[in-house]
């Protein structure tokens, strides 16, 4: 229930941050001004004793987030990919949130699997290991199938995870309401819609049947992508709270010393991670929405193996074209076109000055275009972008939240592999290929063909529709409705012409 009782949850959040020392660490990481530090100290210190103690063996921020629960851990996972924002030391500390959290007992996992499969674990698996990885929502076990001796990764949800997430999200909604009430200027950021989006993503993660389906679809889409693999889906041993995929050996992308020792080219891996993400987002409109290092491995042959398909993003074709044109405009330094695309898509209110917006975009793009990642301060860049969006009244686009978040994470992963990567040059070939195929004369013909196919499905019904319209026309007083009747017949004639054009285009294309 979303109400004032959530004040207690938020107070305990702040108190936990203060008690564990995480508040100071976060303020240091973001170079907070003295006034904000003082305010945080004054507001947090009196309630310090109300905070969770957490695991004192952990660093402060990791200790606080794990004590607060799974929703907070998700946030920490995102920060763990951005050493350029939070600093190398904090990012390294947060990496344990990706897959090294405290596991729950293996017997509890076996009970969950047995309930989902409606038969004893020993009938399905000849071996079932202790947890090999544990994250915020689930943990993974290595098991061997009785039927053919293959090894699989069995993912099992944490006990009580659904209730824990609902409690956190409930408090987040309350916080969003308070922010909108106390700060009207924040409403353009649509905090409630952002929380609603987060809630939808999390609820999808809590049903492993949906993850199994997502893994199967992702595998089909990417089956021909060189240097990329998705483990085989095991439909027969997957359910709501447990699922299985083929076992994938490899080195996690956060283990840089092991990657170097194995002789893999980190520069090529960084390029491939970024280009694969862009290809999946633009080409397929279906992308991995949680591509941190814990969910990516490099196989012995150099292939990148993706894991954990609980968060997947979808983008409709129109949004893909807008996104590609924006990226392409930045790559070509055509800031006027980038501005026009923002206005055409409705991302910027029409009453704003398009030339001023183009200049603002130039002030964002030009200073970083020719620099490698090691010379770009993402913290300063994000602050600048926020100032631009505020100045031009841009609202949060909830349909783009996951895409934007994943892009930030993927860029962070690529930076960790190759700190000198030039993001724009790496993205250029993928974006250009998409632009050639989906924007221009070829794209127009493809769109026309799709339109014709849709209209052609109504071809057999055109005579009866025309007859019904004429009968209705004859029943009306003379002169009334004549325009509509003849217009409708004209439209049907146009439909017939489109059908004929479609048959011709189909034969040509």
For 93-205, strand residue ranges (E) read: 125-134, 138-145, 151-157
Strand partners, 156: 139, 242
Pairing of strands 228-229, 304-306: parallel
DSSP calls for 215-273: HHHHHHHTTT-TTEE-PPB-GGG--SSEEEEE----EETT-HHHHHHTT--HHHHHHHH
**Residue matched to tokens 């004639």:** 493
- Relative orientation angle of helices 354-365 and 378-391, to the nearest 10 degrees: 180
Strand partners, 304: 228, 298
**Residue 433 annotated as catalytic:** no
Greatest alpha-carbon pair distance for the chain in Å reads 88
3-class DSSP state of 298:
strand
The phi, psi pair for 59, rounded to 5°, reads -65, 155
Residue 244 exposed, middle or buried by CB count within 10 Å (0-12, 13-18, 19+)? buried
Strand partners, 134: 100, 139
Catalytic member of 84, 290, 308, 418: 290
CB 250 within 8 A of CB 181: no
**Residue matched to tokens 């962070």:** 412
Catalytic residues: 290
């Amino acid at each position: 229930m979303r109400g004032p009782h959530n004040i207690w949850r938020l107070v305990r959040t702040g108190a936990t941050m203060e008690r564990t020392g995480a508040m100071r660490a976060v303020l240091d990481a973001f170079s907070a001004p003295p006034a904000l530090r003082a305010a945080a100290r004054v507001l947090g210190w009196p309630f310090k004793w109300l905070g969770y103690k957490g695991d004192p063996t952990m660093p402060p921020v990791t200790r606080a987030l794990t004590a607060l629960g799974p929703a907070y851990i998700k946030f920490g996972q995102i920060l763990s990919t951005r050493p350029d924002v939070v600093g190398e030391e904090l990012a390294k500390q947060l990496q344990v949130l990706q897959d090294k959290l405290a596991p729950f007992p293996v017997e509890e996992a076996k009970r969950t699997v047995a309930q989902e499969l409606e038969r004893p674990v020993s009938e399905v698996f000849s071996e079932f290991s202790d947890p090999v990885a544990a994250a915020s929502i689930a943990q993974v076990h290595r098991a061997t199938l009785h039927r053919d001796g293959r090894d699989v990764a069995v993912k099992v949800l944490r006990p009580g995870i659904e209730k824990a997430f609902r409690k956190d999200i409930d408090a987040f909604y309350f916080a969003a309401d308070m922010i909108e009430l106390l700060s009207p200027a924040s409403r353009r950021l649509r905090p409630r819609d952002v929380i609603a989006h987060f809630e939808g993503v999390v609820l999808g993660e809590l049903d492993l049947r949906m993850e199994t389906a997502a893994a199967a679809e992702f595998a089909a889409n990417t089956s021909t992508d060189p240097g990329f693999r998705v483990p085989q889906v095991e439909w027969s041993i997957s359910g709501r709270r447990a699922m299985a995929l083929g076992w994938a050996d490899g080195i996690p992308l956060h283990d840089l010393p092991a990657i170097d020792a194995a002789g893999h080219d980190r520069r090529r891996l960084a390029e491939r991670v970024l280009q694969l993400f862009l290809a999946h987002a633009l080409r397929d409109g279906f992308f991995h929405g949680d591509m941190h290092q814990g969910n990516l491995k490099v196989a012995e042959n150099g292939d990148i193996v993706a894991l954990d398909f609980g968060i997947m993003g979808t983008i409709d074709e129109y949004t893909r074209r807008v996104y590609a044109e924006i990226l392409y405009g930045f790559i070509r330094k055509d800031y006027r076109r980038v501005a026009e695309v923002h206005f055409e898509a409705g991302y910027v209110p029409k009453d704003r000055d398009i030339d001023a917006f183009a200049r603002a975009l130039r002030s964002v793009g030009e200073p970083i275009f020719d620099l490698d990642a090691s010379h770009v301060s993402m913290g300063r860049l994000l602050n600048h972008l926020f100032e631009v969006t505020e100045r031009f009244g841009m609202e949060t686009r909830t349909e783009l939240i996951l895409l934007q978040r994943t892009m930030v994470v993927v860029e962070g992963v690529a930076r960790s592999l190759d700190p000198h990567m030039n993001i724009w040059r790496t993205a250029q070939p993928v974006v250009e290929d998409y632009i050639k195929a989906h924007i221009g004369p070829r794209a127009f013909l493809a769109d026309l063909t799709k339109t014709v196919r849709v209209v052609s499905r109504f071809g057999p019904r055109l005579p009866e529709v025309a007859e019904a319209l004429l009968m209705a026309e004859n029943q009306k007083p003379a002169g009334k409705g004549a325009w509509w009747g003849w217009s409708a017949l004209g439209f049907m004639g146009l439909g017939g012409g489109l059908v004929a054009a479609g048959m011709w285009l189909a034969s040509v294309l």
